[in-house]
Structure 1
């Protein structure tokens, strides 16, 4: 099955070629599929919809509301007193014993989330210094 071909198209092509006289074994070889796939297509079944991938939980998830709170509190703080990603990380390690998170995890979250929090608060992000 080619990358650009959907399963619905594949099933339709298998049915069409089978009506044209191709054997099931030839269909397997031509479309590089198993006999079960050929059988399902010929039985008139529709391909099963793709399963939705469950979002993998991050070790940072329990700390995200705390980080959001820090970033929201920093909206009112003078520029030089705002938390950097490093300071937030250090606080979590010291105050919460968060040895299971890494600095890059915190930095990425703060870099992505900081502008969203400022935008939600109605503060322009164009001239604001990033908090990372």
Structure 2
């Protein structure tokens, strides 16, 4: 359900609760939504944003300081001399032989930075 549709449903739920049925369970049954959504609509005019938990990256944690250091050093380097994500991955393989991290994981971290 997109944002605008959810805002419109929230408005309908609040209006129905105030002027119509008047109970959370009744409004939920009429609109076919969960009682939690009716309570959220009564609590605020706009739907709450999803809060995603921060994911733990156990494989990447061993080399994240190294990657960030390389990227920070590259900021001062000329454009043609900067590291690509593939080059950083190859350096990790050489300098940290015990660490097993995928190239795509390194690429994603470089992109996020």
1:106: how far off? 1.5
CA–CA distance in 1 between the matches of 2:87 and 2:31? 56
Gaps of 5+ in 1: 114-132
TM-score (norm 1): 0.50
Query: Once the two structures are superposed, what CA deviation does each residue of 1:83-120 show, in whole Å capped at 9, x if it has no partner?
Result: 33222112223332221x2112222333453xxxxxxx
> Relative to total residues, which structure has the larger helix share, 1 or 2?
2
The residue that corresponds to 2:6 in the other structure is 5
1:78: how far off? 8.7
**Larger C-alpha radius of gyration, 1 or 2?**
1
Structure 2 counterparts to residues 1-132 of structure 1, below 5 A: 4-6=5-7, 8-15=10-17, 16-18=19-21, 27-34=27-34, 46=43, 52-58=51-57, 59-74=59-74, 75-76=76-77, 79-80=80-81, 82-96=82-96, 97-99=98-100, 101-113=101-113
The 3 A distance-change label for structure 1 pair 18 and 60 is same
The 3 A distance-change label for structure 1 pair 30 and 69 is same
Give the secondary-structure state (helix, strand or coil) at the position aligned to 1:88: helix
Query: Once the two structures are superposed, what CA deviation does each residue of 1:13-50 show, in whole Å capped at 9, x if it has no partner?
Result: 3312216xxxx65x444310356777x69xxx636956
**How many pairs were matched up?**
103
TM-score (norm 2): 0.55
Q: Do the aligned residues in 1 keep the contact of 2:62 with 2:99 (CA within 8 Å)?
A: no
Q: Do the aligned residues in 2 keep the contact of 1:28 with 1:35 (CA within 8 Å)?
A: yes
